[in-house]
Amino acid sequence: MSAELLLNNLTNPALLFFALGILAVQLNSDLEIPETSSKFISLCLLFAIGFKGGQELSHSHLDGEILSVMALGVCFACIVPFYTFFLLRRRMPVENAGAIAAAYGSVSAVTFVTAASFLEVQHEPFGGHMVAVMALMEAPAIVVGMMLIRSFSTEEHLNMGVRQVAAHALTNSSVLLILGSLVIGFLASEEQAQGIKPFTTDIFKGFLAIFLLDMGISSGRKLKGFLEQGWYNTGFAMVAAPINGSAAALASGLITDSVGDRFMLSILAASASYIAVPAAMKIAVPKADPGLYIPMALAVTFPFNITLGFPLYLMLILQS
């Protein structure tokens, strides 16, 4: 079963386009996706997953199980930054440790979208409330990371207070769009949603493949320079994902029997933010080195999750 899952994932067209992007960099090709097009496609993906999640959420009831899943997601978003920070602060400045802690406690919307496509191939549904869980996990990790930096940094002041960091995290474009799309999808009737259906179903996979091609190009450009900085950070980026994802896969079994919900929670816990957190840290903690935490999340953890992580977490869930 595990070998079949791995093989199916590795032959997924979207994942192969990611590999093509990395190969293009290694071959010094001039292949690239225009920045404006890449941003447009990413917005379309966030819109689609948010709207579809809102539609599914409108047909479900916020019972104790759903609320427990949401609470568990927020717990992971708060706990992961703590252990990450204290593991790393002995080897690097407090600002870098805090930024990495925030990135690994937060989530990757792109990984979430890719995971949704993976579950569709496996014919495993997941609840629309998982989109809300993803949005809820974004801000707490950034706030916790910022609090840790403020507590242990020798700097007399930082550029932004915790309240401002929280506000910035909540108004980040990816968070705002997916939350807004979730609400709009929740309010729209099935008849009204039919007009948008081509964007949330038919075009979705094509946009995902092109976006992952762009992610492969970005990862390929960052990977070489990052590996030259040493193997400890690379090792941490590879180990943190399966530890966090496996913990969520097992812990979620205590509160829900939904394979899809448990898998998506595992992906959220295993992923690392390379969009929202860098945007917040650039303003709040300019001393934190984005050349460290962005490649860790984008060039190491992201590829690990979409290649080996997906079948690993699903296998753990099916066997537990």
Residue 256 is predicted with a pLDDT of: 93
CA of 208: how far to CAs of 10, 50, 134, 250, in Å? 16, 15, 18, 29
Angstrom distance (rounded) from CA 49 to CA 119: 13
Tens of pLDDT along the chain (320 residues) come to: 456 666 666 677 877 888 898 899 889 999 888 888 888 887 888 788 778 778 877 777 778 888 999 999 999 999 999 999 999 988 888 988 999 999 999 998 889 988 988 898 888 999 888 888 887 787 788 888 888 888 887 765 455 566 766 676 667 676 678 778 888 988 888 888 888 877 777 787 788 888 888 878 887 887 766 666 667 888 898 999 999 999 999 999 999 999 999 999 999 999 998 877 876 777 677 788 777 888 888 888 988 998 889 999 999 999 98
Alpha helices for 11-161 (secondary structure H) = 13-26, 35-58, 64-88, 94-105, 109-121, 129-152
Residue 161 is predicted with a pLDDT of: 61
The dihedrals phi and psi of 33, each to the nearest 5 degrees, come to -100, 125
CA 301 and chain centroid, separation = 10
Angstrom distance (rounded) from CA 307 to CA 270: 13
Residue 1 is predicted with a pLDDT of: 47
Angstrom distance (rounded) from CA 112 to CA 271: 8
Domain positions in the chain: 2-319
Fold of 2-319: Na+/H+ antiporter like fold (1.20.1530)
CA of 299: how far to CAs of 29, 73, 120, 292, 302, in Å? 19, 24, 25, 11, 6
CA 54 and chain centroid, separation = 19
pTM of the entire predicted model: 0.79
Residue 229 is predicted with a pLDDT of: 62
3-state secondary structure of 242: helix
CA 149 and chain centroid, separation = 22
- The H-or-E segment that residue 53 falls in is helix 35-58
Residue 166 is predicted with a pLDDT of: 65
